[in-house]
Amino acid sequence: MARKPLIAGNWKMNLNHLEAINLVQKLAFSLTDRDYDAVDVAVLPPFTDLRSVQTLVDGDRLRIVYGAQDVSRHDSGAYTGEISGAMLAKLGCAFTLVGHSERRQYHAEDEALCNAKVKAAYRHSLTPILCVGEGLPIRQEGRHVEHTLAQLAGALEGVPAEQARSIVVAYEPVWAIGTGEVATPADAQEVCGAIRTRLADLYGGDVAGEVRVLYGGSVKSDNIAGIMAQPDIDGALVGGASLDQGEFVKICRFGE
Ligand code: PEP
């Protein structure tokens, strides 16, 4: 089965709920059925925007989908400041990021926590977009594939094949995030191909063939085409450029 590409915009901690409505309205105005037939388009706004995005998407029957940037490992209870998978599901989220490098870096998220978050997402029918990728020193030592595959295996520990077949894996080399330093298509393919091979080792070729593997790191309209031409890359996780409606739409069209 051919994998439908996914372009997901990670807004990070940008845009209040009014600005979110404005951007989603502009995207809805620009994106056509032809675009949605070719790619799945998702936005990942801050938690405080989700209810507004839900109202807009439901009210206008938009084909854009949305998700969260993080999910609690817990389902409810005394966890001040956390947001559960159940809450996100109730808001109509399709996706949640897990293990974005900014959460790994600033919130000390490790493999065990990412694994618990992947499982929490599945408990509430959310599709995890699991972020993996190496920092610059690890790449300079030539250990980027090994490091990324260890993150992948750690986050998938105990996750059954029926769930794993729907996961989205985003390979995001940390040195390319928000730096303007994009990995070459060949560099991105090297690791995305290794991710698919490891998924095949863990779950078999059928599952590996279904999983969407994205590239993320300074994706723009002028570099997306080369990335999308790679056999094991099924889309992009886009940070900064997803805040610009015109640029994001061009990325959804692979630069055209
Ligand atoms: C990201 O936040 O996941 C990301 C890839 O950011 P940027 O596109 O800005 O590098």
Average pLDDT of the segment spanning 64-93: 98
Domains in the chain: ranges and CATH? 6-252 (3.20.20.70)
State residue 183's pLDDT score: 87
Taking the alpha carbons of 227, 147, 199, 123 in that order, is the dihedral positive or negative?
negative
pLDDT tens readout for residues 161-217: 999 999 999 999 999 988 888 889 999 999 999 999 999 999 999 999 999 999 999
ipTM value: 0.97
Q: pLDDT digits over 124-134, tens only?
A: 999 999 999 99
12-to-43, 240, 242 alpha-carbon distances in Å: 10, 8, 10
Asked if 107 is an active-site residue, the reply is no
**Torsion sign, CA atoms 38, 42, 43, 48:** positive
Catalytic residue at 17?
A: no
**Dihedral through CA 158, CA 151, CA 206, CA 235, nearest 10?**
130
Distance CA 74, CA 92 (A): 19
Residue nearest to atom 8 of ligand 1 (CA): 239
**Is the beta carbon of 235 within 6 A of some atom in ligand 1?**
no
Q: How far apart are CA 238 and CA 81, in angstroms?
A: 26
Predicted confidence at residue 1, as pLDDT, reads 61
Residue 84 among known ligand-binding residues: no
Residue nearest to atom 6 of ligand 1 (CA): 239
Average model confidence (pLDDT) across the chain:
97
Which candidate, 226, 120, 110, 225, places its Cα nearest to that of 163?
120
Strand pairing report for 212-216 and 127-132:
unpaired
Residue 142 has a pLDDT of 95
The 10s digit of each residue's pLDDT in 72-84 is 999 999 999 999 9
Could you tell me which residues come within 8 angstroms of residue 161 by beta carbon, excluding any fewer than 6 positions away? Answer: 203, 204, 207
- Is the pLDDT confidence value at 104 over 90? yes
100, 102, 109, 144: the catalytic one is 100
Average pLDDT value for residue range 5-22 = 98
> Is residue 143 classed as helix, strand or coil in its secondary structure?
coil
Average pLDDT over residues 99-112: 96
Tell me if 239 is assigned to a ligand binding site: yes
pLDDT given for residue 221 in this prediction = 97
